[in-house]
Amino acid sequence: MAQSLKDPVELFDRPPERLYRSPGMTETLLKTPLYDIHVEMGARMVEFAGWLMPVQFAGIVEEHNHTRTACSVFDVSHMGRLRIMGDGVEEFLNRIYTRNLTGAEPGRSFYSHICREDGGILDDVIVSRFAGHWGIVCNASNRAKIIAWLQNHAAGKNINIVDETLATAMIACQGPRTLELAKELTGNDLSGLKRYHFTVRDIGPLQAVTYRSGYTGEDGLEVVLPAVLVKALIPRLFGTKESPHPVIKPAGLGARDTLRMEAAMPLYGHELTEDVDSLTAGQAWCVDLSKDFIGADSLRRLNERGLARKLVGLELEGRRIARQHFGVFRDGRAVGQVTSGTLSPTLGKSIAMAFVSAECSAEGTELHVEISGKQVPAKVVKLPFYKRPR
C-alpha cells in the first residue's frame, strides 16, 4: 500500500441537496433562512422532518467537542414556533400541558409534554409566558399535529393560534463560552438571565427573543429572530468561510444529537412517542398530577399501579454503538429495547438509553444489547451520562 495514488480521478462536488435523498421522497423540502449560509460554510445537508438541515460542518465529533469547550451555533429554525393568545389562554394551555403554568410570570419558559387522554406523548415543547401572549416551541416533526391539536381544543373559544415558524429563524448558541462571547459581540451582559428565562429586545418594529436554554447539556442561549434579519446577523456571529470567527463555529444536527444523548435529554421519536407516557419516559418532573389536564387521569392511574418499564442509561463494553430498536437482554431473555445510542465523544464510551422492564432498571444491573447478532455486555448506569462542570 506504499505506492502513490497514480493519476487520481477527481470526484466533483455535487450540490448538497442531492445528497441523502431518502428513497421515495417527493415532497418539496423547506429551507431555513440560514440555508445559503450553511451551504457556503460547507455543510453537509440532509432531509430532516421535511426540512433541509445541516448534519455536519467540520465533523460531528469535532463540533461536539467544540460545544463542550467553547461555543457552537446550531440552526434550529426547523422547530415549530407558535403564538397563542386570547381569552382564558392560561387556563386553555393548562389543560393541554402536563406542567402547571398557573401564575407564570412573563419572561419564564417551561419544558412540558402534551399528552393524549391515554397518556401517550404527542410532543415535548417549550412553552413561554410573554406579556400579551404565550409562545410554544415544538418539534419540527410534530408541528402540524400540534397545531391541529390546539385548534381542535380551542374550538368555540376566543383563542388565536398563529404559526410563526416560517417568518422567524431560531439559532442555539451553546457552550461554556457563550455568554462571554455574546457580551463581546453585542455588549449585552446576559449572565443575570436565569435558566428557562428569556428577554425580548426590540429591533425597530421587529423583535428578537433570547432564551437561556438549550439541548446540549451546556450553558447557552437560544435566539428567535425575524427571518429577514438572519443574513445580516449570522456573518457577525461565526464569520464567513474566508474569515471564520476564531471561537464561534457552526455545528449541525449530528453533534446536537450526540450532545443531547450525553446529557440524557429525550428526543421525540426515540425516548418519547405516542406509545410512551411521560412517567415511563422518566420525565415525571414535568408532570403535575395534582392538576387537571388531558391525560392526567391515565397518568394518575399509572402512577398508582406502578411502572412496568423504565427508561435507563446503559454503558456498553467496547466501541460498538447500540442503535434505536436494538434488543436488550438479561440472561438471554428479552427485557427491552434501545431508544438511542452513540459512542460518547466526551466519555469515550458506548452509551445508550433504553426502555427495560422495571425489575431490570436498578443501577448496576448487568444486561446485554444485541449488536449484529452478538450479545454485548451492558450495565445500567445513572442518567445523565454527562453533567457540565459548574
Partner 1 sequence: MKVPSDRKYSETHEWSLLDENVVTMGITQYAADELTDITYVDLPEVGSKVNVGDAVGEVESVKATSEIFSAVSGTVVAVNTALSDHPELVNDDAFEEGWMIKIKTEAVDPLKALMGAKEYASFVRNLG
Q: Which residues bind partner 1 (CB under 8 A)?
A: 1, 3, 5-14, 18-21, 55-56, 59-61, 254, 258, 318-321, 323, 342-343, 372
Residue 277, CB half-sphere, CA atoms under 13 Å: how many? 24
C-beta atoms surrounding 217 within 10 Å: 22
The residue among 127 and 255 lying less far from partner 1, judged by its C-beta, is 255
Task: Please give the grid coordinates belonging to residue 192.
Answer: 443575570
- Kindly give, in sequence order, each residue whose CB lies less than 8 Å from that of residue 279, ignoring residues fewer than 6 positions away: 119, 287, 299, 302, 303, 307
Nearer to partner 1, 5 or 131 (CB): 5
Closest CB to partner 1 among residues 2, 155: 2
Q: Which of residues 106 and 318 has its CB atom nearest to partner 1 in the complex? A: 318
d(CA 140, CA 138): 6
Q: Across the strands, what pairs with 172? A: 74, 222
Q: How far is the CB of 280 from partner 1 (least distance, A)?
A: 27
In the complex, minimum distance from the CB of residue 350 to partner 1, in angstroms, rounded to a whole number:
8
Q: Which is nearer to partner 1, 68 or 310 (CB)?
A: 68
Q: Let me know: does 67 contact 216? Beta carbons within 8 Å.
A: yes
Whichever of 59 and 235 has its CB closer to partner 1, that residue is: 59
The letter for the amino acid at 308 is A
Check if the beta carbon of residue 136 is closer than 8 Å to that of residue 146: yes
To partner 1, the closest distance from the beta carbon of 237 in angstroms equals 24
With beta carbons less than 8 A apart as the criterion, state whether 336 and 370 touch.
no
Q: How far is the CB of 254 from partner 1 (least distance, A)?
A: 6
Minimum distance between the CB of residue 253 and partner 1, rounded to whole angstroms? 10
Q: Residue 359 CB, nearest distance to partner 1 (Å)?
A: 30
Q: Which residue number, 65 or 69, has a Cβ lying nearer to partner 1?
A: 65
Residue 346 · residue 262 · CB < 8 Å? yes
CA dist list (Å): 160 to 19, 132, 225: 39, 12, 21
Rounded Cα gap, residues 295 and 239, in angstroms: 47
Q: How far is the CB of 71 from partner 1 (least distance, A)?
A: 21
